[in-house]
Amino acid sequence: MFINRFSFTLLLALCLVVQSPRVLSQQESVNDSNGAASSNESVQQAQDDWGDEWGDSWEDSTVERNPLTLSGFAEIAVGNRFYNDPAINASKTLRDARIQVRADYALSASTVRFRGDLYYDGVKRGWKSQLRELAWQGSLSDLGKWGERFDLKVGQQVLTWGTGDYLFLNDLFPKDFQSFFAGRDDEYLKAPSASIKLSGYFDAFNADVVVTPSFEPDIGITGEVFSFFSPQRNDNIAPAFVVADDNTPNNEEIAVRLYGSVGQAEVALYGYKGYTKQPLSLDDTGRPRYSRMNAYGASVLMPLGAGIANAEYAYYDSVEDGNGANPLIMNTQSRYLLGYSQELYTNVTGGMQWYTEVIHDYDALISHSPFPAFEQERYRHWVTTRITYMALRQTLTVNAFLFYSPTDSDGYLKANVTYSPGDTWQLRSGINIFKGDNPNTFWGQFEDASNAYVALRYFY
């Protein structure tokens, strides 16, 4: 029944794709001051009078004329799961009616940026808002000659670094896995944080220091939309899960990156002082909490053959569990990543990554764990592949990304099609399919979360 409903939705999406050119061409012709009906006429007019052909003027749209630029989009997104999830018993995985407003205000030598989302979440049945950016950004040149080497960005912002594709080792900025699994646009995989970012640019290297005064955790899988495995119950559960305030630190996080180029290679060193981004540890009464974590790492990214190769390492030091014997606290880990991407054929790009998590003090973990059978393997390997195909002058993009773990025998296929025939409308449709041999593994636990979605976006 769910599958049937879904086939219908996909069929509908397909019809939209096929039908939309005509609909959209009508839309576009509104902006055409000449009302050009056929392309031949347009060509003729293009040669006759460029000014008319453009329709609108430069002045309206050039940034330097008007310090304030306003834009954004409205979006409707609908997604359903393929199978029934007994822990949740609702088929909806995505029901967004969303509007995003972007406003940039240019000051004489700096910018104030705003990006905010307001949406009705039909799965959680309520209005939600997310302030994705409200930040001042500028250089410190007013403070003297030395200040020319520094940029400062203060306020709510989205931050990203590191070399992985959908894999984050040294990037410990907040992420939103719920949006990622539900098929929201990739933009929403990165959650914002209220941070201060100081960037310094020097001859030999550059440096970023990011201070987030109050710890900002990931938006994880909470049970409102997707269920997850509980070792205590030996089954999936879906509590409207909130980490208690007294288990959520409000101390600062500090992230540092030193980076530079060596020839065509880009190298970087990373450091982090803060907490596990997900509530992987437990307090004495068994409630989830965030425990102290420091991280150190390095990466290199460089052209290799016809493509780009990257390697990254991160050491997650679980400060509160130095010897790994505390079953309530996450163990120290090492994480390794090797990646390569290149164009395979014209308009087709392929990428591949090998990712390994190594749990330190593994024997201590197993001997103290109340659920040794459900503990992660000492070595967890993931292989990922990505294929991207662009067609119709890049108005159609097909993306397929597969996570596969040979050690956990599970995987996650994330595939989507994006069609943007004009500057205003965009249709996006895709699937998120989780599969695993065991119900307790990282991807395996989300089998019943497998879903498909369709989203229609209007840019203004």
Partner 1 sequence: MRLTLKNGVLKRVSVSFLISLLSTAALAQAHIDAPVNDENSVNSIVLNAEKAAYYAGNDGKSLARMMIVDSQGRKQMRQFTILRKDVVDDEGIDTGDQRMLVFFSRPTEVQNTVFRVEKHTDLNTDDDRWLYLPALDLVKRIAAGDKRTSFVGSHFFYEDVSGRAIAEDSFTLIETTDTHYRLNAVPKKPESVEFTRYVVDIDKATFLPTQIDFYKHDNNYRRVEAVKVDTIQGYPTVVRSKVSDLETGGYTLMEFRNISYDVGLPDSIFSERSLRVPPQDYMD
Which residues, numbered 119-178, are part of the site for partner 1 (CB under 8 A)?
137-139, 151, 153, 157-160
Q: Which of 323, 343, 363, 372 binds partner 1 (CB under 8 A)?
A: 343
Is 351:341 a contact under the CB 8 Å cutoff? yes
In the list 424, 435, 439, 456, the residue contacting partner 1 (rule: CB under 8 A) is 424
Residue of 76, 102, 354, 409 interacting with partner 1 (CB under 8 A):
102
Query: Shortest gap between Cβ of 50 and partner 1 (angstroms)?
Result: 6
Q: Choose which of 81, 92, 190, 335 interacts with partner 1 (CB under 8 A).
A: 190
44 binding partner 1? (CB under 8 A): no
Q: Cα–Cα distance between 274 and 288 in angstroms, integer?
A: 17
Label residue 67 left, alpha or beta by phi (over 0 means left) and psi (-120 to 50 means alpha): alpha
Q: Could you say which of 91, 278, 342, 369 contacts partner 1 (CB under 8 A)?
A: 342
Tokens encoding 325? 């014997």
Ramachandran sector of residue 301 (left: φ over 0; alpha: ψ -120 to 50; beta: rest): beta
Closer of 73 and 229 to partner 1 (Cβ): 73
Is residue 95 a contact residue for partner 1 (CB under 8 A)? no
Question: Contact at 8 Å (CB) between 434 and 422?
Answer: no
Residue closer to partner 1 by CB (options 42, 251) is 42
Q: Which is nearer to partner 1, 37 or 373 (CB)?
A: 37
Tell me the closest approach of the beta carbon of residue 304 to partner 1, in angstroms: 10
Q: Which of 86, 186, 244, 438 binds partner 1 (CB under 8 A)?
A: 186
> How far is 198 from 195, CA to CA, in rounded Å?
10
Nearest residue (CB) to partner 1, 53 versus 361: 53
| Residues 6+ away with beta carbon under 8 Å from 380 | 356, 357, 405, 407, 408, 442
Distance from the Cα of residue 233 to its chain's centroid = 31
Segment holding 113, helix H or strand E: strand 110-121
Residues whose CB falls within 8 Å of the CB of residue 61, separated by 6 or more in sequence, listed in order: none
| Sole window of 109-117, 366-374, 400-408, 436-444 interacting with partner 1 (rule: CB under 8 A) | 109-117
Reference 122, options 75, 84, 87, 73; nearest CA is 75
Question: With 0-12 CB in 10 A as exposed, 13-18 as middle and 19+ as buried, what is 444?
Answer: buried
Nearest one of 138, 56, 71 to 104, comparing CA atoms: 71
Question: Which residues inside 246-275 make contact with partner 1, applying CB under 8 A?
Answer: 264, 266
Size, binding site for partner 1 by CB under 8 A? 76
Tell me how far, at minimum, the Cβ of 133 lies from partner 1, in Å.
9
Residue numbers 309-328 binding partner 1 by CB under 8 A? none
User: What's 192's DSSP letter?
Assistant: P
Nearer residue to partner 1 within complex by CB, 10 or 196: 196
Q: Binding of partner 1 at residue 244 (CB under 8 A)?
A: no
C-alpha separations of 26 from 1, 56, 73, 393, 422 in Å? 37, 18, 20, 20, 11
Check: CB of residue 127 under 8 Å from CB of residue 118.
yes
Decide: is 19 part of the binding site for partner 1 (CB under 8 A): no
Unique residue bearing structure tokens 């420091």: 294
Nearest approach, Cβ of residue 395 and partner 1 (Å): 7
Per-residue binding string, partner 1, 50-89, x by CB under 8 A, is x--xxx--x--xxxx----x-xxx----------------
Q: Which residue's CB is nearer to partner 1, number 89 or number 346?
A: 346
Q: Residue 436 CB, nearest distance to partner 1 (Å)?
A: 28
Nearest CB to partner 1, comparing residues 207 and 358: 207
Q: How far is the CB of 312 from partner 1 (least distance, A)?
A: 13
CB of residue 139 to partner 1, shortest distance in Å: 7
C-alpha separations of 185 from 96, 376, 402, 430, 449 in Å: 12, 30, 17, 10, 17
Query: 131, 119 in Cβ contact below 8 A?
Result: no
**Member of 106, 131, 198, 209 binding partner 1 (CB under 8 A):** 106
Residue 399 is a binding residue for partner 1 (CB under 8 A): no
Q: Tell me which residues in 362-381 interact with partner 1 (CB under 8 A).
A: none
